[in-house]
């Protein structure tokens, strides 16, 4: 997960560093709370529906599939956070696997997955916030939203809402412009399909696999078949993004979040 709201930055020795302070953090959290309230009101008025699960049916043809490594950082200092991320991804796909997206229905990542809290079984992983990879409950779910976005593009879905990461996250799909960051509940991934689709999601020992399946013989309009498609235009420019830092790789040791 990530939060795209950013604070001011200072130029120190030719390197631009985020200016982190408890005061900046307080202002940041106030802005987050306001955004969450606004999105909650908008969603309640829109009547957004959750996709229902169907454990059988004729969804046998794969029209889009995304595969990514579950374990993306083998540094010893990051082992606990990597385990947390993998646990969070496995927990979230329970709400996602076999979900059926009907024609014209809008899929919402947060409506489908729900809020990532300790009470719902989520643990601490890494989350991108204000340019830094910080520990947070539910951290790591952006790997799942990245995979959903990639598979949605392959399946000809109309992208309703998508936000790119503000930094390049190690092991993510950001370099190819296939990333979609999420932050409860105001930064979402949303898309629609013209045909019925079943979303299949599973995590093996080493890989996350997300596939969109349709009825045999279904014809979908691929992302590159129409220059008018929002899907095609979304891939025209991949912005250059600075790498996200953890406390092990960041030089700003005076930050109040510093872990070491």
What is the rounded average pLDDT for all residues in the chain? Answer: 83
Q: What percent of the chain clears pLDDT 70, i.e. is strictly above it?
A: 73
Average pLDDT over residues 140-153: 96
**Rounded percentage of the chain residues whose pLDDT exceeds 90:** 61
How confident is residue 12, by pLDDT bands cut at 50, 70 and 90? very low
Q: For the ranges 82-86, 212-216, 244-248, which has the lowest average pLDDT?
A: 244-248
Q: Flag whether pLDDT at 125 surpasses 80.
A: yes
Q: Can you tell me the distance from the alpha carbon of 164 to that of 86, in angstroms, rounded to the nearest whole number?
A: 21
The pLDDT of residue 7 is above 80: no
Write out pLDDT tens, residues 187-244: 999 999 999 999 999 999 999 999 999 999 998 876 554 433 444 434 434 455 566 6
């Amino acid at each position: 997960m990530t939060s795209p709201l950013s604070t001011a930055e200072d130029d120190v020795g030719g390197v631009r560093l985020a200016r982190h302070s408890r005061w900046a953090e307080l202002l940041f959290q106030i802005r987050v709370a306001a955004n969450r309230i606004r999105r909650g009101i908008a969603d309640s008025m829109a009547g957004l529906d959750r996709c229902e699960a169907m454990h059988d049916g004729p969804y046998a043809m794969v029209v889009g599939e995304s595969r990514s490594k579950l374990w993306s950082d083998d540094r010893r200092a990051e082992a606990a956070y990597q385990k947390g991320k993998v646990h969070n991804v496995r927990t979230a796909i329970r709400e996602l696997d076999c979900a059926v997206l009907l024609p014209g229905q809008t899929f919402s990542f947060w409506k489908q997955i729900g809020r990532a809290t300790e009470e719902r079984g989520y643990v601490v992983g890494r989350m991108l916030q204000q340019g830094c990879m910080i520990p947070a409950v539910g951290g790591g779910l952006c790997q799942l939203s990245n995979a959903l976005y990639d598979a949605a593009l392959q399946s000809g879905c109309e992208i309703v809402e998508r936000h790119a990461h503000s930094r390049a996250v190690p092991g993510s799909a950001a370099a190819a412009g296939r990333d979609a960051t999420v932050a409860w509940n105001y930064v979402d991934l949303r898309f629609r399909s013209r045909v019925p689709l079943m979303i299949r999601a599973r995590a093996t020992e080493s890989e996350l696999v997300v596939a969109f399946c349709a009825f045999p013989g279904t014809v979908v309009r691929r992302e590159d078949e129409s220059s008018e498609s929002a899907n095609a235009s979304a891939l025209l420019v991949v912005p250059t993004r600075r790498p996200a830092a953890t406390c092990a790789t960041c030089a700003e040791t005076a930050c109040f979040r510093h872990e070491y």
